[in-house]
Structure 1
Amino acid sequence: MKKRILSAVLTAALALSTLLTGCGSRTTGKKAEAVSYMESINGKNKENVPDDKYRTTYEIFVGSFYDSNGDGVGDLKGVEEKLDYIKGLGFNQIWLMPICPSPTYHKYDVSDYMAVDKEYGTMEDFKNLVAACHKKGIKLITDLVLNHTSVEHPWFKKAAEYLKSLKDGQKPDPEKCKYIKYYNFSREEDSGYKQLYGSRWYYEAQFWEGMPDLNLDNKEVRNEIKKITDFWLDKGVDGFRLDATTYYYTGNEKKNIAFLKWLNDEVKAKNPDAYIVGECWADLTQYARYYQSGVDSFFDFDFANDEGTIAKTVSGQTSAKSFGEEMVRAQDEIAKNSSGRGIEAPFYTNHDMARSAGYYPGDDGSKTKFAEGLNLMMSGSAFVYYGEEIGMKGSGKDENKRAPMYWTADSGAKGMTEGPKDMELFKMKYAPEDKQAKSQTSILNYVKQAIKLRNSFPAIARGKVRVESASNDSILIVTKTSDDSKIKPLAIVYNTSDKPKTLKTSDLPDGYNKLKGVLTVGKQQITEKDGTITMPKESIAVYQK
């Protein structure tokens, strides 16, 4: 992709975004009052983040994030250069998408589990990044892809070479090539199997022919996995994101959970404080069962994407009260399957989903903001995909969902990446980060305020949700309480409607009468007068006793 072409596209995008209300490209006195009001309330609160596994995590596709050396590809040094930005937003954990050598741009097919892809830098760069993160109080977890390797991995290449060398009718001998047992080879073609080029053998590859599935029943494979996790833990990583956990043993949930239990036990034996979050792309009933493995978290897929509970609530398809009831259902299902130890992992979008700026036609930024507020007010360890904090666009092919972080409209500026080479050109809807940082009414600053509340009130992430009786179609009132006496309980009031709504102060739970935090998408303020609370459209209020 030519940077000058992308520059023209992004410049046009900036011109468009300046016309959109609430996008952060222009600041007026009146609009500044809205966030000044938020800051006047939220700024009084002190940060109070317990040292535990309830974190606020920023997901990064390194190749599209920040380029430190001008080659057009984001790298680990670039992530390090932007740690102040990440910390400034309030994030206290980073999830790096795969960084190991791989023949593909996305790197989910690993060819060497104990190295850094040269596009991203060196192992020394990685160690420096980890040290810099820890110095700033930021944890770092990395993607761990165990369902499959690349066909370019030495294990597969050796197995393939050996099988091709056999004469017709000759049986393979694991004593001569142990790697044939690292994968699932067969003489018969089966569902999810691909033919080994140049032979009559087939191998399991549930995703595509370039990703051969590992035989996770093989003890030697498990020993290799233990070496891999120990290697990265020794490098200082604080845990792992597990890719494609439902495919470890395709169609066999029981074996998937058993393998996850083994993996979790091995990682925690090395580092009891390691945090593990798994991708179990399924509905709540299924991903809740995966907590039986002992893994800390699994992503809350029921709440994510354009058809998830968050988007349906924002678009009015799901009532305020129903949103609260869904949060309770999730927490109860997870608690039931984890003996109360599971940590929810709410998220709104990720690298496999269309970006949220395209979810709401005609949105001026309000709904994009409010959706992030709903996500960040959920209990658990919350995740935000890079660029969502400024409302980036990206849909269709996967490359589009991993577009260059929109730091500035000038694609030739320092740090700007070129993005995946097969990415389509498209216009961003909202202003770039450098413009939004100067606007108090931007999506960026809304997200910053939401994380500020999350970091000020431990009960937001750690509290058990209860829906209060005064909740209705437009107004949701929940309390969040913890068994930990150091965590003060709170009540959260949501107006999920696109119009102002009122409630009585007597509708609040007994004693919760101190307004401590606010999130508003526009200039209107939350007001209390004559026993009535007026909530602006798509607003959130935090109360304590």
Structure 2
Amino acid sequence: MKKIITILSLFAVVISCKEKVKKEENNVIVEKEPIAVTEVMEDGVIYEANIRQYSPEGTFNAFTKDIPVLKKLGVKVIWVMPINPISKIKRKATDGQFTSDIKDEEERKKYLGSYYSVSDYKAINPEFGTFDDFKNMVTTAHDNGILVIVDWVPNHTGWDHPWITDHPEYYTQNEQGEIIDPINPETGESWGWTDVADLNYDNEEMRKEMISDMKFWVEKADIDGFRMDVAHKVPVDFFNTAIKEMKTVKPVFMLAEAEQPDLLQNGFDMQYGWEVHHIFNEIAKGEANVTKFDDYMVKLDTILEADDINMNFVTNHDENSWNGTLLERMPNNKEVFTALTYLMPGMPLIYSGQEYDMAHRLRFFEKDTIPKTKGEYFALLEKLGELKNSNSALNGGKKAANYTRIQTSKNEAVLAFKREKNSETVYFIANLTDIEQNVTVSITGDFTDYISSTDFNINEEKSLTLAPWEYHILTAK
């Protein structure tokens, strides 16, 4: 993989990191260094914030109180699910019907709609609080060394967005001139997203308005970038233009909800690791073995550039609500796959409630809340976050640490690899089966088992016994 960084973009990042931000506190001007975006990419953990469900209040203010807690988990990027008002026209309920079809008024009030049915790109969803509340959340995150990116929905809007009546030409229309919901280009049939209207990217004026609305949040709320919903359904050249425009304001961090290398070549920093997520699920259920993971890592090396970043995850809002909790999908082995998301190249994701070992599917269209009791899994994430933040051997950004597969006597069952950078080395050894494995691993030396903080001696000529799903993270003594 060859690294592609333009001199101009590198210069902009360096200059931005040297400029100081002035903040008035008690009538005293305090100068602060802005967060270095490129450094965050190397050693950060990303947290997906579901504001509605994060707390009983479901507000920005309630979430802001816990930002120091997230910092302890190693979080350096907060991805906030859509913050915009939700359309009332064609608003969906949990069973898929429109709320307008529900006759009981009290029952109808329960359904708050999908975050991804936006009625106004430049406004705040009132259920979360005010614009000032949101700005305070961003400021608090910055004070804790954390970037904030906002979930943006560029592919479609809700049916009561002003563009529907003011600019119907901004939308895809059928032969009768009627605005339609998004369709599957292969079949010509609706995806079933009937609560939203499909935007027409052939319209240049719409593109300009979209970029203006995105830039508004960078300028007025000082956000640090965007997570782009269904990025693979929006023309790549639009993102190229939009990201260049936002970078005239400040350096931005861009995450694509896609696994598409040309997006990374056109301004995005990080993509979803969808394929490896599904591989995790298959191995966890015994439907695949380590060979599939190895093949994936070889594939990444051929299709991605050295400065491209994968977001690695065991859950997110879609997976939790629609495909099952970690208890359902990984009842006996979530710890080993969670650790793998931190140890492999890329940036690990924590979804709201995951840190508290949430064992239920969060409702998507109505109010719910996550648990807040810390347990062993919280402690594991805290420890993994500390290692990710502090050890350059786990760097996963534009200057990622090396990844080397280590041979074992049972490569199909046991995964072993080495990460190294700046004279630091970390080893990962894991039995990814539900059967005890006696195996030799091509590593010799005395190490510290990072999770248990105990001495760990390994010799490539001696057999190592690994219980089902047992793993070890080895660091220098």
Quickly name the TM-score band, shorter chain normalised: 0.7 to 0.9
Q: For residue 208 of structure 1, give the secondary structure of its aligned residue in structure 2.
A: coil
Asked whether the equivalents of residues 81 and 150 of structure 2 are also in contact (C-alpha less than 8 Å), the reply is: yes
Q: 1:317 to 1:279 in 2, by over 3 A?
A: same
Matched-pair contact (CA < 8 Å) for 2:114–2:364: no
- Of the three residues 282, 288, 291, the one matched with 1:318 is 288
* Structure 2: distance between partners of 1:324 and 1:128: 44
**Residue 292 of structure 1: how far off its partner (Å):** 3.3
C-alpha distance in 2, partners of 1:448/1:355? 24
| Change in 2 beyond 3 A, CA 1:288/1:125 | same
Partner of 2:401: 463
Alignment of 1:109-508 (within 5 A): 109-158=117-166, 179-188=167-176, 207-234=192-219, 235-248=221-234, 256-271=235-250, 273-280=251-258, 287-304=260-277, 308-335=278-305, 340-353=306-319, 354-360=323-329, 363=331, 366-395=332-361, 398-399=364-365, 403-407=368-372, 433-434=373-374, 436=375, 442-460=376-394, 461=396, 462-470=400-408, 472-482=411-421, 486=422, 488-504=424-440, 507-508=442-443
Report if the CA contact (8 A) 1:303-1:348 is conserved.
no
Say if 1:534 and 1:209 are closer, same or farther in 2 by CA, change over 3 A.
closer
Give the whole-Å Cα distance in 2 for the aligned partners of 1:56 and 1:268: 23
User: How far apart, CA to CA, are the structure 2 residues paired with 1:331 and 1:457?
Assistant: 23
Q: Which amino acid aligns with 2:134?
A: F
Q: Give the superposition deviation at 1:398.
A: 4.0
User: Higher relative contact order at CA 8 Å, sep ≥6: structure 1 or structure 2?
Assistant: 1
Q: 1:323 to 1:343 in 2, by over 3 A?
A: same
2:114 pairs with 1:106: yes
Contact persistence 2:440–2:462 (CA under 8 A): yes
Do the aligned residues in 2 keep the contact of 1:360 with 1:367 (CA within 8 Å)? no
Name the amino acid aligned to 1:276.
M
More strand by share: 2
1:141 is displaced (CA, Å) by 0.7
Deviates more, 1:449-458 or 1:493-502: 493-502
Q: Does 1:64 align with 2:49?
A: no
User: Partners of 2:362 and 2:86 in 1: how far apart?
Assistant: 23
Does the C-alpha gap of structure 1 residues 317 and 543 become closer, same or farther in structure 2, counting only changes over 3 Å? farther
Contact kept? 1:356, 1:388, Cα under 8 Å: no
The structure-2 alpha-carbon separation of the partners of 1:314 and 1:457, relative to structure 1 and needing over 3 Å to count, comes to farther
State the Cα distance separating 1:128 from its structure 2 match.
0.6
Whole-angstrom CA distance in 1 between matches of 2:262 and 2:137: 35
Check the 8 A contact 2:450/2:475 in 1, yes or no.
Answer: no
Look up the equivalent residue of 2:268 and give its one-letter code. V
Deviation larger for 321-330 or 367-376 = 321-330
Assess if the C-alpha contact under 8 Å between 1:60 and 1:96 holds in 2: yes
Distance in 2, Cα, partners of 1:289 & 1:324: 23
1:186 to partner: Cα distance = 3.8
State the AA in 2 paired with 1:405. I
Whole-angstrom distance in 2 between the partners of 1:257 and 1:241: 15
Shift of 1:463: 2.1
User: Structure 2: how far apart are the matches of 1:264 and 1:450?
Assistant: 32
2:172–2:180 CA contact under 8 A, matched in 1: no
Q: 1:488 to 1:149 in 2, by over 3 A?
A: same
Structure-2 separation of matches of 1:205 and 1:148: 13
Letter in 2 for 1:456: S
Q: Are the aligned partners of 2:225 and 2:253 in contact in 1 as well (CA < 8 Å)?
A: yes
1:91 aligns with: 75
- Within 1, Cα distance between the matches of 2:223 and 2:211? 15
Q: Distance in 2 between matches of 1:210 and 1:257?
A: 25
Question: Is the contact between residue 56 and residue 383 of structure 1 (CA under 8 Å) also seen in structure 2?
Answer: yes
Q: Deviations over 1:55-100 (max 9, x none)?
A: 2111111001024xxxxx4110011011122112221211110011
CA shift, 1:269, in A, is: 3.3
Change (3 A) 1:488 1:114: same
- 8 Å CA contact 2:358, 2:371 repeated in 1: yes
Tell me the amino acid that sits aligned with residue 445 of structure 1: A
- Tell me, yes or no, if the aligned pair for 1:60 and 1:97 is still in contact at 8 Å: yes
Displacement of 1:156 in angstroms is 0.9
**CA positional deviation for 1:502:** 4.6
Q: Structure 1 pair 536/489, CA: closer, same or farther in 2 (3 Å)?
A: same
Identical-pair percentage: 23
> Take 2:362 and 2:356, find their aligned partners in 1: how far apart are those partners?
19
Q: How far apart are the structure 1 equivalents of 2:200 and 2:247?
A: 23
State which of 60, 66, 73 in structure 2 corresponds to 1:82. Answer: 66
Structure 2 residue matching 1:232: 3-state secondary structure: helix
Q: Secondary structure at the match of 1:185?
A: coil
Preserved CA contact (<8 Å) 2:290 2:412: yes
Structure 2 residue runs without a partner (length 5+): 1-36, 88-111, 183-188
Contact 2:179–2:197 (CA<8 Å) still a contact in 1? Answer: no
TM-superposition CA deviations, 1:150-200 (whole Å, max 9, x none): 111111133xxxxxxxxxxxxxxxxxxxx1321123433899659xxxxxx
TM-score (norm 2): 0.75
SS at match of 2:311: coil
Shift of the 464–524 alpha-carbon distance from structure 1 to 2, 3 Å rule, reads closer
Q: Deviations over 1:258-315 (max 9, x none)?
A: 22322332233332x31111112xxx6xx234433231111011122xxx11122233
Amino acid at match of 1:58: Y
Code of the residue aligned with 1:119 in structure 2: it is E
* CA pair 351-524 structure 1, distance change in 2 beyond 3 A: same
Distance in 2 between residues matched to 1:351 and 1:488, nearest whole Å: 35
Q: 1:94 to 1:141 in 2, by over 3 A?
A: same
Q: TM-score, normalised by structure 1?
A: 0.66
For 1:109, what is the secondary structure of its paired residue?
Answer: coil
Q: Give the match's secondary structure for 1:149.
A: strand
Q: Larger Cα Rg: Structure 1 or Structure 2?
A: 1
Separation in 2, partners of 1:480, 1:267? 34
Partner SS, residue 492 of structure 1: strand
